[in-house]
Each structure stands twice: as C-alpha cells, then as structure tokens.
Amino acid sequence: MGFCMFQPLAIPDVILITPKRHIDARGFFAETFRADQYAAAGIAGPFVQDNQAFSEDKFVLRGLHYQIAPSAQAKLVTCTQGRIYDVAVDLRKTSTSFGTWVGVELSAEAGQQLYIPEGFAHGYLTLTTRCEVRYKVTDYYCPSDERGLAWDDPDLAITWPLDGEPPILSAKDVLLPKLNALADVF
C-alpha cells in the first residue's frame, strides 16, 4: 500500500488525499508529499510555490479565487491548524460538471489534503478560531491573472456551514462577480 489514499470526489478531478499516519506515544509521522505517487494518482505538478494563510476568527471566508492562463494554478490544500470547509467550483466550460461544486472539511487533526486542478475556483471557510492553511500551487502568483467568483452566487448554491452567521470577507471578495458574468476563461 502507498503512503496515501487518493479518493476522487463527486467531481472526479478533485481528489481528497489522506496520508497514512504512523502513530506512537510521541505523536505521529506522515509523508505528506511524494511526487512519484502523486503523479501516479493523476496529480502531476510540478508545484512551484507554497502559500500560507492564518485566520484568527471563525467564519472567515476566503475566496472563491482562481488564476487564468498563462498563470492558471492547480492547488494542493492542507489545514495545519483548526478546521476549514474547503470548496472547489468547476469553471471549465467544456466540462460536464461546469458550474458545480464540491466541498469537504479539512482539519489539522485528520491531516487530509485536497487537490484542486486548474480550471477551478477555490475558497474556504474557517470553522474554528485560529486556523492555518497551507497550499502548494503549480504556477506563480500573478496579480494580472487573478480572478474571483462570488461566494454566495445563488446559481452555485454552495452550502457553506455558517450556522446562521455572516462570513467575514475581505473588501475584494465582497465585490466578486457571479458565474453568469464570467468570461470563458477555461
């Protein structure tokens, strides 16, 4: 058996990855990335940049973000502190799942990762205070190629677990367009 379990989600190109943990009295050890096994699971990379985000409060919503060509990015997301609800929205016009989304809870305790390929908008909601998220990307951040999608687009109908609370958004994320206003980017 490999060091990780790779589980395609309802949109099969989005993959939930569960690294095998070796646990003893000291804690645990896990291999969290091996290029050869990721490539065998359809996650080729290469990953060229690592990002880290910290949110102090519960219900911080970051996203939905993506980059267009020539700087489109695949992402490998891990929650290293706390818990988040991670969402990927398919923006590939030729895909049978265009305009649909998948969401999973990621936590430091479970140690899972979410692979999101190019052509998807990505966002997450913090479910606890003091959340840290780290993710690898396959292209460098490019401000001129950065785009976004409204987190609350009724056509997407994403079920964010907000427990009736309003999300905490950046000024930029409040202004993101809805899916029907996006140009064909993928």
pLDDT tens figures, 110-119 = 999 999 999 9
- Band of pLDDT at residue 148, cut at 50, 70 and 90: very high
- Give the list of residues 6+ apart from residue 154 with CB closer than 8 angstroms, or none: none
pLDDT tens figures, 93-107 = 999 999 999 999 999
3-class SS of residue 174 = helix
Task: For residue 135, indicate whether it is catalytic.
Answer: yes
Question: What pLDDT shows up at residue 38?
Answer: 92
Sort 119 into a burial class: Cβ within 10 Å, 0-12 / 13-18 / 19+: buried
Question: What pLDDT shows up at residue 77?
Answer: 98
Q: What is the mean pLDDT of the chain?
A: 95
Q: Whole-model pTM?
A: 0.94
Question: What pLDDT shows up at residue 23?
Answer: 85
Return d(Cα 139, Cα 67) in angstroms, integer. 9
pLDDT tens figures, 30-76 = 888 889 999 999 998 899 999 999 999 999 999 999 999 999 999 99
pLDDT of 1 higher than 80: no
Complete DSSP assignment for 99-165? T-EEEEEEETTT--EEEE-TTEEEEEEESSSSEEEEEEESS---GGGEEE--TT-TTT------TTP
Q: Residues 13, 114: contact at Cβ < 8 Å?
A: no
Among residues 65, 85, 124, 140, which one is catalytic? Answer: 65
Question: What pLDDT shows up at residue 30?
Answer: 86
Return d(Cα 10, Cα 95) in angstroms, integer. 13
Higher pLDDT, 23 or 13: 13
What Cα–Cα distance (Å) separates residue 26 from each residue in 29, 32, 65, 136? 9, 18, 38, 28
Tokens at residue 159, please? 């079920």
Among residues 85, 135, 140, 141, which one is catalytic? Answer: 135
Percentage of the chain beyond pLDDT 70 is: 99
Higher pLDDT, 4 or 147: 147
> What is the torsion angle, in degrees rounded to the nearest 10, for the CA atoms of residue 89, residue 144, residue 170 and residue 55?
80
- Band of pLDDT at residue 186, cut at 50, 70 and 90: confident
Letter for the amino acid at 48?
V
